[in-house]
Amino acid sequence: MSAVSTRPRQVRLPEPVARRPRKRWTRFVLPTYVMAFIVYLSFPIFVIILFSFNQTRGGFGTSPRVKTTWLGFTTEWYGRLFELPDLTASLRHSLTIGLLSALAATALGTLLGLALARYRFRGRGGTDFLIFLSIASPEIVLGAALASFFVALGVTRGLSTLFLSHTMFSIAFVAVTVRARAAGLDRSLEAAAMDLGARPVTAFFKVTLPLLFPGILAGFLLAFALSMDDFVISQFTQGPATMFPTWVFGSTRVGIPPHVFAFATIIFVTGATLALALALTQRRRTCPSPRVLRRETSRPPREFVKYFTSSGRRRKKGPSTCGNGIRED
């Protein structure tokens, strides 16, 4: 009987492949392209901010027109924001319709996106097709169709038709955003919450909804931005109520007043500040400080059980034991 060799078997590793040295000029191509793209996108914004401080002279009714030449620095237009009543009314209409339509579209789009991501039902494919058809359709087609629909029903066009129109075309964007967020959630977290005694409704509001909140917030902000920026659909469905983009478009025939640039600068700064605050908050959640880590790791598991129990009360310690003789804490 031959003896079995106990020597370890030598595995021959493949020889490393020699990497071709990268050319030096390729290291600057991508950064240069990215910087050029950022400058290209940011240039109109910088022009708007610059001309909001331009000392313009001329006449737009009682207000000056915008000149393409720099005449001096002034902050006068920020103190005369509400000088034009038509401009103020159009901006108020845009903010009101944008906020209300974003809230309605977020509520409906969240339910639709969650249903498409988690459940299979008859007509799911057709609903998917209609959502992407609404996103892919040109706005001029949607605007003409909505205008014809309201005229056929005899509905007077105004703020109500603007609200319905903006809500209609924003639902699809919210549904797609929330669906993408819901598709990546781990459903075992809900199962764990229900195993600990939580009801399905409690598990949804305590587990699912907080995890969906970033997608819901993104959908709300997207719907609000689309409503504020929309011109084509508003032009077809606004009636006597003028929106901010349509007012700006109408003022281009006689000259845009500098108040528009001041309003645009304020809106841009507010949106940029909000985006920066959300980014910092998200970074703080994903990368907590050492103090937060020590506090979170020192929390006993009993608090987790207490959080998901339906009664919300801590179980009392007692001499009762489980079936296998282990004390139930």
Give yes or no: residues 100 and 123 share one domain. yes
Rounded to two decimals, what is the model's pTM? 0.72
- Burial (Cβ within 10 Å: 0-12, 13-18, ≥19) of residue 145: middle
pLDDT value of residue 60: 43
What's the pLDDT band for 291 if we cut at 50, 70, 90? low
Report yes or no on 271 lying in a domain.
yes
Residues 123 and 99 placed together within one structural domain of the fold: yes
Q: Percent helix, strand and coil across the chain, each rounded to 5?
A: 65, 0, 30
Residue 294's pLDDT band (boundaries 50, 70, 90)? low
pLDDT for residue 201: 86
Of the three residues 207, 229, 253, the one that is the final residue of a domain is 253
Would residue 6 count as lying in a domain?
A: no
Looking at residue 214, the DSSP 8-state letter turns out to be H
Same domain, 184 and 306: no
Q: Is the pLDDT of residue 309 over 70?
A: no
Query: What mean pLDDT value characterizes the chain?
Result: 79
Are both 305 and 273 inside the same structural domain? yes
Asked whether residue 328 carries a pLDDT value surpassing 50, the answer given is no
**Phi, psi of 63, rounded to the nearest 5 degrees:** -120, 155
Task: State whether 145 and 178 are in the same domain.
Answer: yes
For 249-259, the pLDDT digits (tens) are 888 777 778 88
Residue 176 lies in a domain: yes
Residues 77 and 196 in one domain: no
Domain that holds residue 205: 93-253
In a domain, 22, yes or no: no
Q: What is the pLDDT of residues 174-209, one digit of tens each?
A: 999 999 988 888 888 888 888 888 888 888 888 888
Whether 300 maps to a domain, the answer reads yes
200's CB contacts (< 8 A; 6+ apart) are 194
Assign 83 a pLDDT band (cuts: 50, 70, 90). Answer: confident
Q: Do both 244 and 261 map to the same domain?
A: no
Indicate the number of domains in the chain.
2
Q: Does some domain include residue 287?
A: yes
Residue 297 burial (CB < 10 Å; 0-12/13-18/19+)?
Answer: exposed
Residues 242 and 282 reside in one and the same domain: no
Q: Domain of 243: which CATH number?
A: 1.10.3720.10
Same domain, 172 and 206: yes
Contact in structure between 60 and 258 (CB atoms under 8 Å): no
Residues 137 and 269 grouped into a single domain: no
